[in-house]
Structure formats: C-alpha cells, structure tokens
Amino acid sequence: MSATELKCIDLFAGAGGLSEGLSEAGFHCLFANEIIDEYADTYKKNHQSTTVTTADIRDLDAKEIRKQFQIEREELDLLAGGPPCQGFSINAPIRSILDERNHLFKDYLRFVDAFAPKAVLIENVPGLVSFEDGATLHAILDALADLGYGADVRILGAAYYGVPQMRWRTFIIGLRGKNLPTAAFPEPTFHAPIRPNFTATFNGQQLVKMPTPETAAKFTSVRQAIDDLPPLKNGEQGEKIKGYHCAPTSDYQKLLRIGSPGVINHEAPRLAPINLKRMKYIEPGGNWTAIPDELLPQGMKRARKSDHTKRYGRVAPDGLASTILTKCDPHWGAYFHYSQDRSFTVREAARIQSFPDHFVFTGTQAQQFAQVGNAVPPLLAKAVGLAIKSILEEGR
C-alpha cells in the first residue's frame, strides 16, 4: 500500500467487483467480509493484500477488527458494501423484525458506528428507491444522519461509464459531518441507448444521472468488449489459459488485457440440443419470436410477441448486452453469442461486466457465473470511487 492510497473496507464483498473498481480508483481495501465460501475464495485470489474473512457479518466484532488494523475512529477513509436493505423500513415493523435482511443492514451501520469513516458507500438495486413507497430509503438516510452523515442517493447506468450492458445500480454516498456535494456522484462519460424502467425520483428529485450534450463518447458495444477472445464451439473447453484471437481492436480490450497472462475462465457451456435448434433461427439482435412454435418452451407458446424481448436473444454485436445475471441462461436474456452458435462463457460475461482479464474466478462454472452476475461492474465502481476520492482529497 502506498502513502497516497486511501484506506477502505468492503462488507458483503462478493467476488470483489466493488473492491476491484475502488482499487483502480486509488483505494486500498484493508479488510473484506463475505459469507459465501466460493465468492470469498475468488476475492482472496484477486486481492491478496486484503484480509478476507468468510463469516456471517452478525458474528463479527467491528470494534475488534478496528483494533486489529490499528485504526482509530474517524481515520478510515471509506466503508463500502452492498448490504441487503429491503427489510429495513420502519413502516413495516412486523415484517422488519422477521426479515433477516433488516439485521444485516443494521450490522453495516454497526461498522459505520465503530469506525466512523470519512465516507460511506452503499450499493443496491434500483428497486430500493420505490420499495415500500420510498420508506426504506428514507429510513436508510435517516439512520446515516443519526450517525452524523450527510448522505444522498443516485441511480447510475453502467453503460454511461463504459460498461457494455444495460445495467442500473443505486448508490448511496455519505460524508461524515458534511452535506454531500453533487460532485460526489460521477458524471456520465458515455452516451448509451438505455432508459430507466423503474421509479427514478425520490422526494421530487430526479435520481438518474444522465449524459449531457457535451458527452461525446459513444457506448462500448458487445463486439468492442469481446471480439478478441478465441472462438469456441458449444461445450468446448480447451486449454485453461488460451491465447487471444487477435490484437486488441478497441480501447476497451486494451484496457482489460493489461496484466493478463491470457484468456482465463473461457469455456463454453454445453447447451441442450433443443437450444441449438432454436438458435439456428435467431439472427444477431433477434430473439425468441423467430423460433418456430413447435420448438418453443410450452409456457412461451402463449406469450405475446411483444413480451420477453430479450429471451432466447442473440446479442447484437454493435449494441449493448442484456444485464448479466447469475446465470447466462438463454431463457432469461440475450446470452447467445452474435456469431458463434453457443452461449456466453464466464470470461465473456466478465468482460461485459468490465472485469479485467487478470481477474480469475474460482469454483464450478455455475458458481463463477453467479459471482460475475452478482458483482458491481468494476468500471462503474471505479467511476464512483474516483468521485469519492476527489471529495475526500479536497477535505484534506
């Protein structure tokens, strides 16, 4: 850790997407907690200078951890994490008492109280804003205010920050003892064809950060994200570390290839014969509506052609990918490759999430897909981290 790096802690850390982006922004993560063994193993492999604890956060003593790292209260720069928040609202006391997620967010607050960091960062799904008519979000902001933090919330579109997919995340940022300046949330740096399909206002305030007319850069396309990866057939495994298909064809590929020994986690899932038959009818950018009725799943034979527009989709190479989920299952999104008759590999999903190629995912293939899908895109996390870093450095 260099003297210029800011210190942070990552709770509910997953495989480490948030930490990866914060690291690229100039933060050093001292400590991370993750309850799922396979996620924690991936985190440890990629963040070897971070102390990682695999445990239920409710079993951790925040004050003892602070003493372990010899950190005084108010010394830590940032406490980050994605605690489940949906059970926290004071408007549903019976549900909140029974909902274990409520207690998990309280444990995040327990760490805030123990460390009194200069800044806090919470990420969650866009639906948090409308959950219980906004009561949950009000309760979160009030709880942070009670601990001395001026906090605010924004919804950020990952594609506006160079990530090649239609993904939205809610971010809450708080500063200790200060009102939060608007510059605490990063300005979009790319234009992208995405539109909110969720509640985007809170207390009469527009939460979505949109590009300005001066934002010149066009979004990163799927082709620009993955076209240099070696081609595979359905179910093909190949060498553990593969060579690149070609030299980088985009700045995005150049960026994600830095420090990589080659292509890792790039094995094609084996699709069932019925999906291979369905795929033959789908052009790039097309979806299930091109599949003959006799080949459709029973439940989709009754669906309207205007519904489920991403299901059984072959991604458009010059467009954005569907949101990467915990399974790149073609039944749930456009996860067929645009030119190869197969679905995405873990590495392609990771590229679309903006993980660098040197980031290795461990566990079974299903576990790797889950780790990628649950992660915060590192490029988005980096943008947020740089904005927070700028605010913290101004206050020094």
Catalytic residues: 85
What is the C-alpha to C-alpha distance for residues 329 and 377, in angstroms, rounded to an integer?
19
Taken in order 98, 99, 100, 105, the sign of the CA dihedral is negative
What is the C-alpha to C-alpha distance for residues 10 and 121, in angstroms, rounded to an integer?
9
How close are the terminal C-alpha atoms of the chain, in Å? 19
Distance from the Cα of residue 131 to its chain's centroid: 20
Amino acid at position 157, single letter: G
Give 41's contacts (C-beta < 8 A, 6+ positions apart): 362, 363
Structure tokens at 212: 């300005």
3-state class (DSSP) for residue 255: helix
Give 21's contacts (C-beta < 8 A, 6+ positions apart): 376, 377, 378, 379, 380, 381, 382, 383, 384, 385
